Structures are given as structure tokens and as C-alpha cells.
Chain A
């Protein structure tokens, strides 16, 4: 448990490689991108790899300009291959699994056990380098609404990646129809999954507008404030499908990161 107001470094102490896995569509990419931006904001060197070999749209490569601007190294398939649906794993990822001191590598892994298979080829490196493998859970997604279903997914991910899940991230929401009740029920489910798997609930990811509500502030777990980065085209500023600017939010101009812009305030928990 991290007390409210503790330095962010204690929220995420010293992990060097954080791989996010979970059921298809559970929000791994949003969590990965927001986590990378958060860590960067708190002075860490951050690199993020898009290991998604499953999803054809809304991958973290869509937010690359945003992350470039924040000084985050983005490792994605080169050139037009980034727009393909081929299972491309770039060789730089091997290097990311043993990051230098002061650098955190965030791996955005594809959904389900099928997506997690991308990790298996790096298993010796991941295992020996020390790693965190966090299962992201959105309880409002199909096949994710019970402890049994989430544990089944965890087993399948372990079988295909040959790596053990070391933590859980609660990420329950209904996008614009999210309510506090939806979030809190999701946290309960995530806690139950974590308890059943004997791993900690590492983060509660909460959309910006709920991060400061009393109920969310009262949560004992670290809270990661989320700004929606993967936007549908009618909410986007720029054309979708062209490089990078793809999912820049209409209300958030690109540029140098500032705490206000990224929804991060200094000090405190992830949400300050």
C-alpha cells in the first residue's frame, strides 16, 4: 500500500521492465501510453515497445508523435510496416529487456494468450533481467467479468508467454459512460483476482475526471490518472491513418509535455 502523498518513485519502485498483458481490449495500450508518459514526467528515462501482433488499429504506435514529443523512445515496426497486420517484432526489443539504470521499458503486449506469445521468444532475457508482467483487467469487457474468467486468461497468458504474471492493474471503465460505481466494482474484481493469484494489485487506472473523487482518492492502491490517447476519428484533431498525429486529442495540442497537459501533478501518487 502506498500512502497518499508519497513520492511517485515509491509507487513504481525500481521496475526496469514492465510488460502489460491481458484480455483483448482490456486497455493495455491506454495504460501503457499513460504509464510511459507518467514515468517520463517523473524524471525517468522511458522507452516503450509496441509488441501488439494482434490488434490492427488503436495500437500504441498511433501515439508515437505524442511520445516522441515527451522524449520517450518508441520502438515500433519501421516505415509502412507499422500499418500492417503482420506479427512483426523488431530486434531492438531484445535490447529493451536489459535497460540501463534509470531507464524503464514499458512493453505493450497484444491481447489474450495469442498476443502474449510475442513475449515467449524473449523469455530468457525477460526472466533473467527481472521483469514485471501485469495483467490489465477491464471487468466490463466480454469474458472478463468474473474472477474465474480472469484467472483463466492469466493461465492462458502464462502458458503462451511462459512467464508468470506478477501483478494486476484495475482498468474498468465504459469510456464516456464510466461511473464511479463502474470503477469501484472493477477494483473489487481486480483485488479478488490479485488475491486468488497471490500477486499484488499494482495500479488502479482511472480516467482523468474520476481521479480526484473522494472514493478514488480513498483507494489504498496507487492510482494512475488516464487521459484518453486512442481516439476515434470524430474526436481527433488530425486525419486518422496518416503518420503519428492520428489520435491527437482535439483539446490537447501537441508539444512539450507539461503536468497540466498530461494530467499529472508532481509528487504524490500517480495522480498527485
Chain B
């Protein structure tokens, strides 16, 4: 496959098609609208179905309906639209249905602005809809990684019968990069989710199936929650992913460092540039980049923290007022000093700005 130049949003659309997704339900909102725009052209070429719903509330409920039928499907939106989907996602998680949701985050709160942000971290990993449920959250840092994570998103959704959110800041959706689609066009066979024992459809003599989230009996609902909890624990044990951008390039644990940065998505790329800059000055900094925001790679982050030389600090950088930093603190369990730098509103910190903060923390002279 020759490389093509694609916007992150378009690439996510193509990756979904190649992952065997043939059903999209969505509603436009900046900065993710290129996803539906791409799919409205692309899905008919492969016999797929594109529905522009009347709202995000409708979109997510259409997803629930299709997923309940055992059909591989997805929706995409940006922050305010994702807020509207909260109830539906809770129902889908409760019903244990697989689906993929893309959140191309923009600046909030409220209507906010259209520029990139990472301020939906809490929403994605904690408090989206109601009830004790969890969504698997993947955070790409480049267009190519967004493509690669899209296939993984469908695989995880179907393995665990759970909603998976691909959570990127608007910059990932809007920027263009050369991208390659590896392997066969359909990484997963279209519309075969393996729903042999749970998906609805024509009964043809088999036992009746019910997709349901209503459990009036407290004991039954307690049991249901315990079952979900066991699933989330299993996911947390098996599915964490991260990258350590260390002193020896990308190599895990190569060489020592005096400061560990933690960042995801676009912010992680900016941190890499900043780290390259300060390393040229002899300052030893490294980056821990969570790829799964949920399950958060607590143990791996703790190991990376334990490898910091002496009493060196951890420096969390986000395009938010400080959300992931709470998980970073949980991972540290008080063993490290945690510094934070964040921006909001669509302001994206520059590499120079991050490098300057690194110098300050390490007590080095300004460049």
C-alpha cells in the first residue's frame, strides 16, 4: 500500500472501514466533522451504511441498536457531543455491547471553542454517564497511531463486549501526516462480531435473547455489577499500553533520567521535542506516554517513576487544567514530587515553553 497524505479524521474513517466497520451513525461537530464527511463518501463504496442522525443522543442509540444486532459499528463526535451521548454509553456498557466511539476533543467547558484540548480526560476515564461502568480509552499521538489504534479499538470492543473510546485532541484530527494502512483491507471480517450467543436477530428456533440494562432485583443488579467489575479488572490486568521515550530514543529504560514527564496525545509529541532540546543541553529528561488512558498504566508508570535518579520529580503536562495528573499522583503514591503545567481554551504549549519548565524544575539556567 502506498503512503497517502491524510488528515487524522479521514485516516480514522478509513481505518474503521479497514477494520471491517460498515455502519456509522453520527452528527457533525468541529473538529471531527471530516470523519463523517469521509465516511459518507467511503462507506457506500464498500456496501456500508452511513446515517447522519438528528442528534448525538440519536447517534449513540442507533449505535446501541446496531451493536445489539451484532453489527460492528461506531460513532464519532467532539466534546459537547460526547457529553450528550453519556446516557447511551452507560446503557451500552450495561448491556455489554461492543462499539467504538471517537472523541476528537475540543476546548470547553460548555460550547467552549473549536481548538484542541485534552480536558475530557475525566469524562472519558471517570464520569461520563451514570453507574459503575468503564470505557476502554485509547489516546493516539499521531495520525499513524490513530490508524493503528482504530483496529485495536474494534478488537478490544469485541473481545470484552464493551464500548471503546478513541480519545484524541482536535490537533490529531486536523493535522495531516503521511499514513500507511498495514495488512489486508479488512483487518477484521466486516460485520462479524462473533455475537453467536448474545446478538439479537431472527430467532430461527433458538432460545430467546434479551439485551437489557434493567435489573429491578437488587441482588441481580449487584451480581451484574460484580460481573462487570471482574471484566474491568481483567481489562486492567491485560490491556494497558504505554510508551517510554527515554534517553536512548524510544528504547525502554535506556539510560538514566532525572525528570520524568508524563503526557499523552499531541502534548506528548510537544514534550518529545522539548526533551530533545534539553537533552542537547545535558539535561536528562524522559517521557512516559500513556496510550491507554483507561485502563491507566499505573504499574508501568510507577516503574518508570522508580527509575528516576535520586529524588527527581515527575512533570505532568496537559492541555487541561490538570486531570490526568490525579492518576499520576495515584501511581506515585506520594513517593515523588509531582509538578504540573497546563493550558486551556485551545492554547497549545510550545516545545520552548515545556523546555523552559523542565529547566526550572531541574534548576538549570534558562536557554
Residues of A within 8 A of B (CB): 24-25, 55-58, 83-85, 138, 140-143, 173-177, 232-242, 250
Contact = CB atoms under 8 A, between A and B. Distances in A.
A174 B143 CA distance: 13
B347 A240 contact: yes
A140 B350 contact: no
A83 B115 contact: yes
B266 interface: yes
Q: Taking each of B6, B10, B345, B350, which has the highest tally of chain A beta carbons within 10 Å of its own beta carbon?
A: B350
Given A56-B114, A83-B115, A239-B348, A140 B4 contact: yes
Contacts of B349: 233, 239
Contact of B270 (A140, A177, A233, A241): A233
B14 A58 contact: no
B230 interface: no
A190 to B, nearest CB: 15
12 contacts: A24-B34, A25-B7, A25-B10, A56-B30, A57-B116, A57-B171, A141-B6, A143-B41, A173-B5, A233-B269, A234-B270, A241-B343
A56 B114 CA distance: 7
Given A57-B170, A142-B10, A234-B266, A84 B348 contact: no
B3 A174 contact: yes
Contact of A56 (B31, B350, B351): B31
B348 A241 contact: yes
A235 B347 contact: no
A239 B346 CA distance: 10
Given A57-B31, A58-B175, A234-B269, A138 B5 contact: yes
Nearest to B354: A234
Contacts of B7: 25
Interface in B264-302: 266, 269-270, 272-273
Contacts of B75: none
A65 to B, nearest CB: 15
B348 A57 contact: no
A239 B353 contact: yes
Contacts of A57: 31, 114-116, 170-171, 174-175
Nearest to B4: A140
B176 A25 contact: yes
B177 interface: yes
B114 A177 contact: no
A220 to B, nearest CB: 26
Interface string B145-176: 00000000000000000000000001100111
Given A176-B178, A232-B269, 12 more contacts: A25-B7, A25-B176, A57-B170, A58-B175, A83-B114, A84-B114, A141-B6, A142-B14, A233-B270, A240-B348, A240-B350, A241-B347
A211 B263 CA distance: 37
B109 interface: no
A57 B173 CA distance: 10
Contact of B5 (A140, A235, A237): A140
A177 B34 CA distance: 23
B38 interface: yes
B185 interface: no
Interface in B173-207: 174-178
Nearest to B11: A142
B351 A234 contact: yes
A32 B7 CA distance: 19
Among all A-B residue pairs, the 10 with the closest Cβ atoms: A240-B348, A57-B174, A85-B30, A174-B178, A234-B269, A241-B347, A177-B178, A233-B348, A241-B346, A234-B270
A237 B41 CA distance: 37
B113 interface: yes
Nearest to B37: A24
B352 interface: yes
